[in-house]
Amino acid sequence: MSKGSPISPALMATKSAGAPKAPERADRTADHAAVVADLAAVSPVLGPNNVVPPTVMTGSEAIVRSLEELGVDDIFGLPGGAILPTYDPLMASRMNHILVRHEQGAGHAAQGYAMVTGRVGVCIATSGPGATNLVTAIMDAHMDSVPLVAITGQVSSGVIGTDAFQEADIVGITMPITKHSFLVTDPNDIPHVMAEAFHLASTGRPGPVLVDIAKDAQQGQMTFSWPPKIDLPGYRPVTRGHNKQVREAARLIAAATKPVLYVGGGVVKAHAAAELRELAELTGAPVVTTLMARGVFPDSHPQHVGMPGMHGTVSAVTALQQSDLLITLGARFDDRVTGILKSFAPHAKVIHADIDPAEISKNRAADVPIVGSVKEIIPELTEAVRSQFESAGTPDLTTWWAFLNNLKETYPLGWTEPEDGLSAPQRVIERIGALTGPEAIYVAGVGQHQMWAAQFIKYERPHAWLNSGGAGTMGYAVPAAMGAKVGAPDRVVWAIDGDGCFQMTNQ
C-alpha cells in the first residue's frame, strides 16, 4: 500500500489544504445539537438513536461505541495484533462477539446473519493475512448483494507503505468487490466513517463495505459525538420508479398473452414478498423464482412454475423460452439462467426493474427499464396494471396456463433410486424439508447438493434458503448456518453440505 493510495472522499476532504479549522468544543456541542434532528432523515442507520454529546475517548472505544449506536448486537471475528486495541472495549461491550477459527468463517457467518435478519452483518479481523482471509467472503457478499461491514486492523499509519509486518493493501485488494473501502488514519474520522459504511452497505443495492483502521488511530485520543454527519457526495440511490415507465410496463402486461414474472434475489433483499404476491395474483402470470429468490413466492402457490436455469424445472425453463413478456423483478439475467443470451426468450419483450441501474440492459436489453427498489416499484406497477385491466380488460391466459400445467404434470421433479438399495440423496434432502417444515432455515454449500436442496425442499417463505449463488463459494454452508442461527435463534437451521465443502471451513 503506497502512502498515496485512495482513502475515501470524506477523509480526503478533511485532509485538504483549505479545510477549515475545527471549532472549539463548546461551539461543536452547539452545532451538534442543532443538526441532530435532521440527521435521522438522511439515513435509516442513524435513527432512531441516542444523542451522544462530545466525549473524549480512544479510537478503539469510538469503534465499539459507533457499532453500539448503529444497533449492532453480534460480531463475528478473530483477534490479531493490529486490531487488538479494539478488542478490549469490545469485550466490555454489550455486543456479543462470536470467535471463529478462520476469518473466512467470520465473513460467511456475518453473511448468514445478514440474510436472515435483513440487518448489516459485521465481521472483524486483523491486518495482513487476517484481512486477506476475509476476501472470499467479501466477494461472495458482493456477488449476492449481502449487506456486510468488514472491519480490519491495519499497521500504524507511519509505516503504511513500507512492507511492515503483516501489512497488506486490503483497501486496494477489495476495491473491485466492495461498494466502498475506507482507510482510517485519524481517530476523529471513526464515527462518521462507521456511519457511512453502514449507510452504504444497507441502502441502494446492498453490499459489502470495508473499514480498514490503522493501529495508531485505534490507540489515539479523539472526541466522540453521535450522530455524525453522513457526507457521501454523488451517492443518491433511486428508490421510486419513473411513472411513465411504470405505466408503459402496465400497458405491456395488459397486452401480453404469455407473460412470465421472472423474480430474482432483489425481491428478497427488498422484503417485497407480499407485494410480489399481490401483483402475481392480479396479473395471473406464471412466476419463476431464481436460485437466490427461492421462497419469496410460495412453492405451493398454483402460479409458481419452478426455478429457471440450467438446474431448473422444465416448466420454468420453457415458460421463459416461450414467453412474449418477461416481467423481470430484482433479477440480473445471470448466465446460469439464460444460457446462450442470443437464444434466451427470443420472442419476449422485457420489463426490467432493479435498484442497480448498472444491471439494467447489461446482459439483455430492456424494452421498459425501471430503476428503483422493487419494494416501491411493485405496488406502483400493481396499481397501474389494475387501472389498465379496468380500462382495457383482463388478458385471457387460459391457453398459456394449459400449456404450462401440462408441462408441470408431464415433467415433474424427481430422481432415480440407486440400484444398491441405499437412499438417493435427493430423498434424504426431501425428507429433511418435509419433516422440518417451511419455518426452518436451510443453508447449502456449493455443488450438486446445493441444487438438490434448492429443488427438493419446499420453500414457502423468504429468508428460509441461504446459499452462495453468484460466487459459488465452497465452504459457505457451515459458517453461514452458524450466523443464521445467531440471527434467528428460535428457528431450526440446517446446514446441507458436501464432504468437500465441509472440509474447507470445518475448523
Spans of all domains in the chain: 52-226, 243-411, 425-504
Least confident of 21-30, 304-313, 344-353, 465-474: 21-30
* SS3 annotation, 263-303: ECHHHHHCCCHHHHHHHHHHHCCCEEECHHHCCCCCCCCCC
Share of the chain above pLDDT 90, in %: 88
Kind and range of the H or E run holding 465: strand 465-466
pLDDT at 16: 37
- 52-226 and 243-411 have identical folds: yes
pLDDT at 507: 77
Instruction: Identify the band that residue 44 occupies on the pLDDT scale cut at 50, 70 and 90.
Output: low
User: Are 272 and 241 in contact, with CB atoms under 8 Å apart?
Assistant: no
**Considering only CA atoms, which of 94, 144, 89, 149 is closest in space to residue 119?**
149
Which residues neighbour 196 within 8 Å (Cβ) at sequence distance 6 or greater?
Answer: 8, 10, 180, 182, 230, 231, 232
User: Are 289 and 296 in contact, with CB atoms under 8 Å apart?
Assistant: yes
pLDDT at 317: 98
Kind and range of the H or E run holding 125: strand 121-125
Instruction: Identify the band that residue 58 occupies on the pLDDT scale cut at 50, 70 and 90.
Output: very high
Task: Give the three-class secondary structure for 371.
Answer: strand
User: Are 75 and 121 in contact, with CB atoms under 8 Å apart?
Assistant: no
**Considering only CA atoms, which of 303, 311, 299 is closest in space to residue 283?**
303
pLDDT of residue 25 exceeding 90, the answer is no
pLDDT at 335: 97
Question: How many C-beta neighbours within 10 Å does residue 307 have?
Answer: 23
Side by side, which strands form the sheet with 465-466? 465-466, 441-444, 493-496
Is pTM, for the whole model, over 0.75?
A: yes
pLDDT of residue 50 exceeding 90, the answer is no
User: Are 93 and 122 in contact, with CB atoms under 8 Å apart?
Assistant: no
Region 185-199: mean pLDDT is 98
User: Are 425 and 450 in contact, with CB atoms under 8 Å apart?
Assistant: no
What is the sign, positive or negative, of the torsion defined by CA atoms of 98, 103, 109, 110? positive
- The superfamily CATH assigns to domain 425-504 is Thiamin diphosphate (ThDP)-binding fold, Pyr/PP domains (3.40.50.970)
pLDDT at 315: 98
DSSP 196: H
User: Are 256 and 282 in contact, with CB atoms under 8 Å apart?
Assistant: no
pLDDT of residue 145 exceeding 60, the answer is yes
Instruction: Identify the band that residue 49 occupies on the pLDDT scale cut at 50, 70 and 90.
Output: low
Region 79-106: mean pLDDT is 98
pLDDT of residue 316 exceeding 80, the answer is yes
pLDDT digits 0-9 by tens, 95-118: 999 999 999 999 999 999 999 999
Residue 139, all three cell numbers: 466477494
Maximal CA-CA distance, the chain = 81
pLDDT of residue 53 exceeding 70, the answer is yes
pLDDT at 444: 98
Is pLDDT larger for residue 31 or for residue 140? 140
pLDDT digits 0-9 by tens, 240-278: 999 999 999 999 999 999 999 999 999 999 999 999 999
Residue 151, all three cell numbers: 472491519
Q: Please give the mean pLDDT across all residues of the chain.
A: 92
Instruction: Identify the band that residue 374 occupies on the pLDDT scale cut at 50, 70 and 90.
Output: very high
pLDDT of residue 32 exceeding 90, the answer is no
- Residue appearing with cell numbers 468463517: 105
Alpha-carbon span 257 to 123, nearest angstrom: 48
Domain 243-411 has CATH 3.40.50.720: no
Instruction: Identify the band that residue 467 occupies on the pLDDT scale cut at 50, 70 and 90.
Output: very high
Angle, vertex CA 186, rays to CA 185 and CA 190, nearest 5: 100
Region 327-351: mean pLDDT is 97
**Considering only CA atoms, which of 85, 35, 108 is closest in space to residue 484?**
108
Kindly report each contact of residues 185-188 with a partner whose C-beta sits within 8 Å and lies 24 or more positions away, as own/partner: 185/7, 185/11, 185/157, 185/160, 185/214, 185/216, 185/217, 186/11, 186/14, 186/217, 186/220, 186/222, 187/58, 187/59, 187/62, 187/217, 187/218, 187/220, 187/221, 187/222, 188/222, 188/223
Q: Which residues of 309-340 are buried (b: 16+ CB within 10 A; e: fewer)?
A: bebbbbbbbbbbbbbbbbbbbbbbbbeebbee
pLDDT at 86: 99
Least confident of 17-21, 181-185, 250-254, 421-425: 17-21
Instruction: Identify the band that residue 29 occupies on the pLDDT scale cut at 50, 70 and 90.
Output: very low
Give domain 52-226's CATH architecture.
3-Layer(aba) Sandwich (3.40)
Q: Can you say how many angstroms the Cα of residue 51 is from the centroid of all Cα atoms in its chain?
A: 29
Least confident of 10-19, 187-196, 210-219, 291-300: 10-19
Q: Can you say how many angstroms the Cα of residue 43 is from the centroid of all Cα atoms in its chain?
A: 18
Q: List helix spans (H) across 5-58.
A: 9-15, 25-39
Angle, vertex CA 214, rays to CA 211 and CA 215, nearest 5: 125
pLDDT at 45: 74
**Considering only CA atoms, which of 329, 321, 326, 318 is closest in space to residue 296?**
329
